[in-house]
Amino acid sequence: MAKPTYQQIDGDVALALRPPRWPYLLAVGLLGAGATTALWVWVYQVRSGMGVAGINQPVGWGVYIANFVFWVGIAHSGTLISAILHLVRSKWRTAVSRSAEAMTIFAVMTAGLFPLIHLGRVWVFYFIAPYPSERQIWPNFVSPLVWDICAISTYFTVSLIFWYVGLIPDLASLRDRYEVSHGRDHPRSRFYRFFALGWTGAGSQWWHYGRSYLFFAALATPLVISVHSVVSWDFAMSLMPGWHTTIFAPYFVAGAIHQGLGMVLVLLIPMRKLLHLERLITVDHFEAIGKTMIVTTLIVGYAYVLEPWTAWYSHDKFEWQYAVWRATGYMAPEYWSLTLLNVLVPLALLFRRVRRNLWWLFAIGALVNVGMWLERYVIVPGGTTHDYLPHNWGHYTPTWVEWTITAGAFCWFAFWFLCFAKFLPTVPTSESKAQVAGLEHDEAPRVSGLGPVVSARLATSGVVAVFAEVEPMVAALEKVAATPYRRTTDTFSPFKIDAVPRILGWPTSPVRYWTLIGALTGLTCGFALAAGSAHVNDLIVGGKPWAAWLPFCVVGFEGTILVGTLVNFTGLWIHTRLGRWKLPRGYDRRFSADKFAIIVGCPPERTAEVRALLEATKPEETYDFK
């Protein structure tokens, strides 16, 4: 398939954002009704007490916790695709990253509800927050449940910022498009203008943005892995047979990525068709997802084999009886089904014909999600159903209340995803354009030199030269950089051009210092919070000393990522001067769409000289501003 043009990319994305029609509104209405029904059922549960749910002795953790693990798993792939694939410069991420990131946000929003629903007395949820309360007791940071709060809240915050930062250039493009076509006062124009934060795509903005986004990705990648590891430790830290196993962390992570990729297929295949995004999201992208799923299938299969093998090898009779019960007891149908759905079915992706057939891919994605839900169902209530003591063995059957809330969660998730698909660009237009331009990655270190004296985009007067393509603009910039105007020169472009800072002699962006300082501060604060609260409590819990440094590492790590990300974002905001909604004088709305520009700031009396200099580089047009 031929590469799309810049205009086609913008056009395709804008087409997807056109006013909704009745099938869309009907779907949103039905999903909203489903979520509202679940809300009422939850209110009923709160009023009636947890007795209306199926959880009872010996099963204290039922479908709600299984749902929590399931939705956290779904949340995994979004940031994974976006962050890890950004770090390894994988090209197939571009088409699917935005939707996958959105999937992360909505899945975390869904997952976060379940501990509250499971809590019963939801009004005391704040007990877990570390604050000097009248109870005079602080949360115990040795507890995996407290790590959960730290990990999930950090994950939500970081994923939201990462998603939003990726959106900013695209929102600016939509701002310019809607202001031209619908006027400044149209609600959409206002919405996009507000959230675009005054972004112009100046070289001096991309300079910091590229670095900052790289650090977001670098911080988000270990975070992705940590979050589901922490969720797995909710189980692995216990002594329960079937729960306490060292492989749980990487096994949960691989499983989460596996199901997240499956959900990406389930969401993207129909979305591509309904929003007419075939030109931007191609079958090649789906094939790449299929190939990645082969890897996750093998890792999940490896863990499935190792679990019962270790139970046998260890000769721990409790582990072994649990492994046998799981394969032969009343949960055996679920156990064998999940093996089939999570390992054997996706192995069909080994065949290229299957990987390139969207019907097969959709079916496999859906079946993997069913399989992964069953896996969580077998792990969570299954583990407590059959523990050490035979007289404590029991059964668990979810009630209609649990099933309704479970179904409502799917409606809630889909509702938000549909809203996203109609109001925000589902494909990153800026990155797609960069990919069409086919620029080579240019990461040479720039340790000397100075940044722009006063960024030319903020100059009060000067000259702008407009180019239709990126290469002539870069060639022209080389010539301008050789003149005394280098330090008052800047560019505008719809995507990041790595060569600009190098040509203009700017050093590596100082955003890296912000991130480092933030990360170190977060690390220190995380350890201080955990150790300080443990010191105040001064209790021996579970036979552990109050200064239990090993589990405090989890809190320290989450602090590193959270504060590192927040400070990185602050650095980006300050250096790129975001939040100045008034656009600079030399800016033209075409620069966020398909035109490239060199802007040279100069006093009015020098504009003729600068204009001559720029016209010698053969631009499409030049104009003065003041």
Partner 1 sequence: MTSNEVEQNFTPRWPALRAAVWCVLIAVGLAVWLPTLGGDTAARAWRGLLINFLFFAPLGAGLTVWSAIVLSSQGRWSGRLENLTLAGLATAPLAVAMLIVLWIGSASWAPWATAKDLPQGFWLNPTFVFGRDLAALVIFWILAWAYARQRLAGRGKVLGGWVIFVYVIALSFVAYDLVAALDVKWYSTLWGLYFAVTGVYSGVALWALLAAFVPGVEREKLHDLGKLMVAFSLLTTYMMFSQLLPIWYANLPDEVRMPLARMNFPAWRIVSTVLLATMYLGPLALLLTIRAKRTPWLLGAVAVLVLASTWVGRWWSVAPTFSHKIEFGGPEIGITLASLGAFALALDWYRWRMKAEIPQGAAEA
Residue 314 CB, shortest distance to partner 1, in Å, is 4
Contact 283, 354 (CB under 8 A): no
Residues in contact with partner 1, shown as a per-residue x/- string from 422 to 451 under the rule CB under 8 A: ---------------------xxx-x----
Residue 337 interacts with partner 1 (CB under 8 A)?
no
Nearer to partner 1 by C-beta: 1 or 124? 1
User: Which conformational region is residue 544 in: left (phi greater than 0), alpha (psi within -120 to 50 degrees), or beta?
Assistant: beta
Residue 526 interacts with partner 1 (CB under 8 A)?
no
Q: Which distant-in-sequence residues (6+ apart) come within 8 Å of 26 by Cβ?
A: none
Which H or E element spans position 72?
Answer: helix 63-79
Contact 221, 84 (CB under 8 A): yes
Nearer to partner 1 by C-beta: 337 or 508? 508
Nearer to partner 1 by C-beta: 54 or 346? 346
In 3D space, the residue among 584, 621, 620 whose CA is nearest the CA of residue 202 turns out to be: 584
Nearer to partner 1 by C-beta: 424 or 554? 554
Residues 478-481: contacts with CB under 8 Å, at least 24 apart: 478/503, 479/613, 479/616, 479/617, 480/598, 480/600, 480/613, 480/614, 480/617, 481/505
Q: Which of 33, 88, 332, 453 binds partner 1 (CB under 8 A)?
A: 88
Nearer to partner 1 by C-beta: 315 or 391? 315
Nearer to partner 1 by C-beta: 153 or 238? 238
In 3-state terms, what secondary structure has residue 221? helix
Distances (CA, A) of 288 to 74, 90, 92, 94, 295: 18, 10, 7, 12, 11
Distances (CA, A) of 512 to 68, 215, 309, 570: 35, 8, 46, 12
Residue 47 interacts with partner 1 (CB under 8 A)?
no
Residue 281 CB, shortest distance to partner 1, in Å, is 18
Residues in contact with partner 1, shown as a per-residue x/- string from 450 to 489 under the rule CB under 8 A: ----------------------------------------
**DSSP per residue, 479-491:** HHHTSGGGGGEEE
Q: Which of 7, 56, 314, 392 binds partner 1 (CB under 8 A)?
A: 314
Q: Which two tokens stand for residue 386?
A: 């059959």
State the angle between helix axes of 6-16 and 429-437 in degrees (0 to 180), rounded to the nearest 10.
160
Nearer to partner 1 by C-beta: 2 or 239? 239
Residue 298 CB, shortest distance to partner 1, in Å, is 6
Q: Which of 247, 347, 366, 525 binds partner 1 (CB under 8 A)?
A: 247
Residue 246 CB, shortest distance to partner 1, in Å, is 4
Q: What distance in Å separates the CA atoms of residue 21 and residue 601, rounded to the nearest whole number?
A: 47
Contact 28, 415 (CB under 8 A): yes
Nearer to partner 1 by C-beta: 278 or 442? 442
In 3-state terms, what secondary structure has residue 465? strand
Q: Which of 132, 134, 136, 246 binds partner 1 (CB under 8 A)?
A: 246
Residue 521 interacts with partner 1 (CB under 8 A)?
no
Burial 334-362 (b: 16+ CB within 10 A, else e): bbebbbebbbebbebbeeeebbebeebbb
Residue 542 interacts with partner 1 (CB under 8 A)?
yes
User: What is the residue type of 443?
Assistant: E
Stretch binding partner 1 (CB under 8 A), from 167-175, 369-377, 382-390, 549-557: 549-557
Q: What is the largest CA-CA distance in the chain?
A: 94
Q: Which of 452, 494, 522, 551 binds partner 1 (CB under 8 A)?
A: 551
Residue 108 CB, shortest distance to partner 1, in Å, is 21
Nearer to partner 1 by C-beta: 17 or 511? 511
Q: Which of 12, 148, 176, 307 binds partner 1 (CB under 8 A)?
A: 307
Nearer to partner 1 by C-beta: 35 or 303? 303
Contact 128, 533 (CB under 8 A): no
Residue 553 CB, shortest distance to partner 1, in Å, is 7
Residue 339 interacts with partner 1 (CB under 8 A)?
no
Task: Using the Cα atoms of residue 389, residue 393, residue 398 and residue 401 in order, give the sign of their dihedral.
Answer: negative
Stretch binding partner 1 (CB under 8 A), from 14-22, 106-114, 172-180, 245-253: 245-253
Residue 353 interacts with partner 1 (CB under 8 A)?
no
Q: Which of 298, 324, 347, 370 binds partner 1 (CB under 8 A)?
A: 298
**DSSP per residue, 521-550:** HHHHHHHHHHHHHHHHH---BTTB-S--HH
**For residues 209-238, which are near partner 1 according to CB under 8 A?**
222, 225, 229, 233, 236-238
Nearer to partner 1 by C-beta: 436 or 553? 553
Q: Which of 294, 363, 439, 574 binds partner 1 (CB under 8 A)?
A: 294
Residue 1 interacts with partner 1 (CB under 8 A)?
no
Q: What distance in Å separates the CA atoms of residue 352 and residue 362, rounded to the nearest whole number?
A: 15
Residue 89 interacts with partner 1 (CB under 8 A)?
yes
User: What is the residue type of 152?
Assistant: I
**For residues 10-39, which are near partner 1 according to CB under 8 A?**
none
In 3D space, the residue among 359, 366, 364, 362 whose CA is nearest the CA of residue 346 turns out to be: 364
Q: What distance in Å separates the CA atoms of residue 333 and residue 14, rounded to the nearest whole number?
A: 47
How many positions of this chain bind partner 1 (CB under 8 A)? 41
Residue 374 interacts with partner 1 (CB under 8 A)?
no
Q: Which residues bind partner 1 (CB under 8 A)?
A: 87-90, 222, 225, 229, 233, 236-239, 244-250, 294, 298, 302-303, 306-307, 310, 313-316, 443-445, 447, 508, 542-544, 550-551, 553
